[in-house]
Amino acid sequence: MNHDPVKRLPGWATMSDVAHAAGVSLMTVSRVYKNPSAVSAATRERVLNEGDRLGFVPNMLAGNLASGRSAMIGIVVPSLRNSNNANSIQGMADRLRQASYQFMITNTGYSLDAEALAVEAFIRRRPDGLVLTGTRHSDETYALLRGSGLPVVEVWETEGPIIDMATGFRNREAGGEIARYLIAQGYDRIGYVDYPVPGLRRYEARRDGALDALRQAGLRADIVVSPLSTDVTEDTSSFRGGTSGLQQLLDAGGVRAVLCASDLLAVGVMFEAQRRGMRVPEDLAVAGFGDFEIAAEIPPGLTTIRTQGYQMGWAAADMLISRIEGLPIDTEIKNVDYALVKRGSA
Amino acid sequence: MNHDPVKRLPGWATMSDVAHAAGVSLMTVSRVYKNPSAVSAATRERVLNEGDRLGFVPNMLAGNLASGRSAMIGIVVPSLRNSNNANSIQGMADRLRQASYQFMITNTGYSLDAEALAVEAFIRRRPDGLVLTGTRHSDETYALLRGSGLPVVEVWETEGPIIDMATGFRNREAGGEIARYLIAQGYDRIGYVDYPVPGLRRYEARRDGALDALRQAGLRADIVVSPLSTDVTEDTSSFRGGTSGLQQLLDAGGVRAVLCASDLLAVGVMFEAQRRGMRVPEDLAVAGFGDFEIAAEIPPGLTTIRTQGYQMGWAAADMLISRIEGLPIDTEIKNVDYALVKRGSA
DNA sequence: TTGTAGGCGTTATCAG
DNA sequence: CTGATAACGCCTACAA
């Protein structure tokens, strides 16, 4: 009697088991779990009881194979430790859960090659859609996505050519807005601390917007430092970047105000100012970008641009779901709002 | 622009397609992609060429169904925004990637019911293993796990009964160690700011360890505040908790030193002290827990316990992989090291 | 080294 | 509302 193949997942009850136990066909069980309203209340009850009794949990791998849909999304982010990113991931997670999708996630460490590998690894699992960070990708990534025909949302940047859909905000505008605020406050020598990771459009845009504003106001737009621009890794401390950024600015002749590409850099600047006995904002005004949680807490409060990471993530998931389910989409490119938040630092 | 729902069976090339094109059997193609060394170099070359030409990407859903293995892990965390957690997730991600596993992740908002739902949702996808946070779970979760027979690692706590395997560190011991350090520094009235989320063993243990140490030194062990203990959500600001924690301690008669259940609380305390013109450590000593990135940056440096979240996550993934692949495991319970880090704040 | 047969657990389809 | 049948794309086991 040893004709049965060895079971690799022993113990799992299957739909057949439940069907037998409940005295119905396979399809009825399937319907009970996928589309309960298509089954009479009585049979549904009976099937569910037997299912529970047998500890039946539907095997989605099998279902996905049969249906060609996986209810799974792949999300590619540069870093899992970036708290700014965490907000957008949470936004996606909440929207996806609401629609009964799950997600895989992977980080690339800001490497486009790693991104391509991640995308291929995801595609092997036949997700229903993909979320990528930024609008700059390797040729291989583009080829894979083209071949897959999958819905794709790019997040955080709406600059640059879009693959399919994108959510983000106007980085350039936002950079201009906070720079103009500093200018309006009467600060003259304004320095810019750029993001430590080079080549990201969103940071380039926000810097260029700021520098343009300075130029238009007739101010110097060349007091720019890129802390840690060598030897950058995913784990490069942004706080430390602010620290060395301020050092560099002071070495270069000093500034009256510092505009930073992210709040964490700004906090690093403020810490360094504190260490040097410089008062914020009296001796040095500081502005950040992102409105991270700490911005509201650090004395005297960090003036910054609030970006709506959570809403952006939610919108990204929402667009993806719409496309997957064939619903109409208003725009392929959705910009969420940002807002200047004035606090004590500038 | 395509508003049609995702089509069943899009134009994916299958192994048969590749097999036909290369003039070999299905199994040869399968081997080329799963176990290349089992195929002659010549055929392998030919198959890979055809595969590339056809844009073939293996369908793991089908493979998983056939093999009963998914190379997929489910990770359940309370919050995706907790930066401490992020380190352990990164540790898992790196170890998993190394072994070609992918992961799904979901957050529970500290709800045990949400955890049970998440576990069931994961099980439907037949992961090879599961990672849970903490050692306290609902009966339903226990039942699901028992029924699944899946390898499980619990992380961050090794206190309490273990389901299968666990990684963490000795929270109680660590709490005692940092308390004893404060005592040795000569501080007498020492207050404790507890974690805002109630019912988590790891925080209870670290608090109890600290209070025991105070008692043994003959000091008061009842100056404990639980900021924000009502109306807690996943997004409760830990900084704000530190702020209100210090307020409460001062209202309750003041303290010479504050020990906090997490670095973020400690940073909140330091910010509030700064606002009140209290000097750290001269007027108020502060100690944290976790050695978050900010601890080294905030002046005058935060004395804290370094917990190795990354290593813990790596170890968790490592144990899980070992169990999945039938390799021996030294211990079911693996404690990673922690270390007292002395900085300027206490 | 390569091929054949059978099945993994579910869903689409169409008939009753 | 329920059921029979045929995929879905790949892998295990065994044979050649």
pLDDT along chain B (346 residues), means of 10: 35 91 94 91 93 94 95 95 90 96 94 96 97 96 94 93 96 97 97 91 96 97 83 68 95 95 97 97 97 96 97 97 94 96 98
A49 lies within 8 A of chain B by CB: no
pLDDT of A174 above 90: yes
Whole-number Å distance, CA A27 to C1' C14?
13
Distance separating alpha carbons of residues B21 and B53, to the nearest angstrom? 10
Q: Tokens representing B228? A: 């924000």
Range A140-159 burial, b when 16+ CB lie within 10 A, else e: ebeebbebbebbbbbbbbbb
A2 beta carbon < 7 A from strand D? no
pLDDT for B11: 74
| Strand C: positions under 7 A of a protein C-beta atom | 1-13
Q: Give the closest residue to C9 (Cα–C1′).
A: A62
State which CATH number among 1.10.357, 1.10.260, 2.30.110, 2.60.40 fits the domain covering A15-54.
Answer: 1.10.260
At A138, is the secondary structure helix, strand, or coil? coil
Among A114-128, A191-205, B233-247, the range with the most confident prediction by mean pLDDT is A114-128
A42 beta carbon < 7 A from strand D? yes
Mean pLDDT of chain A: 92
Nucleotide whose C1' lies closest to the alpha carbon of residue B17:
D9
Residue in B293, B310, B343 to test binding to A, most A beta-carbons within 10 Å: B293
Please identify, in words, the CATH class of the domain defined by A72-169+309-338.
alpha beta
Let me know if A331 is exposed, middle or buried by CB neighbors in 10 A (0-12, 13-18, 19+): exposed
pLDDT for A10: 54
Find residues 296-315 of chain B whose CB sits inside 8 Å of chain A. 297-299
Nearest to B169 by CA among B205, B125, B200, B116: B205
pLDDT band at residue A272 using 50, 70 and 90 as cut-offs: very high
Distance separating alpha carbons of residues A289 and A295, to the nearest angstrom? 9
Rounded to a whole number of angstroms, the distance between the first and last alpha carbons of chain B is 61
CB count within 10 Å of CB B233 equals 12
Contact B336, B167 (CB under 8 A): yes
Question: Domains of chain A: which residue ranges?
Answer: 15-54, 72-169+309-338, 171-305
Domains A72-169+309-338 and A171-305 share a fold: yes
CB-CB: which of A58, A80, A126 is closest to B124?
A: A58
Which residues of B are less than 8 Å from A196 in CB distance?
none
A171-305: CATH topology: Rossmann fold (3.40.50)
Nearest to A197 by CA among A66, A272, A108: A108
Whole-number Å distance, CA A16 to C1' D4?
14
pLDDT band at residue A309 using 50, 70 and 90 as cut-offs: very high
Distance separating alpha carbons of residues A339 and B2, to the nearest angstrom? 34
pLDDT for A8: 39
Would you call B125 and A144 a contact, using CB atoms and an 8 Å cutoff? Answer: no
Rounded to a whole number of angstroms, the distance between the first and last alpha carbons of chain A is 82
Find residues 102-131 of chain B whose CB sits inside 8 Å of chain A. 102-107, 120-126
pLDDT for B228: 67
Torsion angle of the four alpha carbons A35, A41, A47, A48, in this order, in degrees rounded to the nearest 10? 80
Nearest to A260 by CA among A210, A186, A200: A210
Contact A330, B274 (CB under 8 A): no
Q: Tokens representing A241? A: 């970047």
- H/E segment holding residue B177: helix B171-184
Please name the amino acid found at residue B143: A
Let me know if B94 is exposed, middle or buried by CB neighbors in 10 A (0-12, 13-18, 19+): middle
Distance separating alpha carbons of residues A186 and A188, to the nearest angstrom? 6
CB-CB: which of B61, B89, B103 is closest to A126?
A: B61
pLDDT for A196: 87
Find residues 163-222 of chain A whose CB sits inside 8 Å of chain B. none
Angle, helix A83-98 to helix B83-98, in steps of 10 degrees: 80
Overall size of chain A counted in residues? 346
pLDDT for B6: 33
Q: Give the closest residue to C2 (Cα–C1′).
A: B28
User: Across residues A295-315, what is the average pLDDT?
Assistant: 97
pLDDT for B9: 41
Q: Tokens representing A142? A: 């583009």
Whole-number Å distance, CA B343 to C1' C2?
66
Please name the amino acid found at residue B74: G
> Cα Rg for chain B, rounded, in angstroms?
25
Distance separating alpha carbons of residues A95 and A153, to the nearest angstrom? 14
B232 lies within 8 A of chain A by CB: no
- pLDDT, tens digit (0-9, with 9 covering 90-100), for A327-346: 999 999 999 999 999 999 99
Give the bridge partners for A306, in sequence order. A290, A339
Place of tokens 């859609």: A129
CB count within 10 Å of CB B127 equals 27
Q: Closest-CA residue in chain B for A53?
A: B147
Q: Tokens representing B177? A: 């160690």
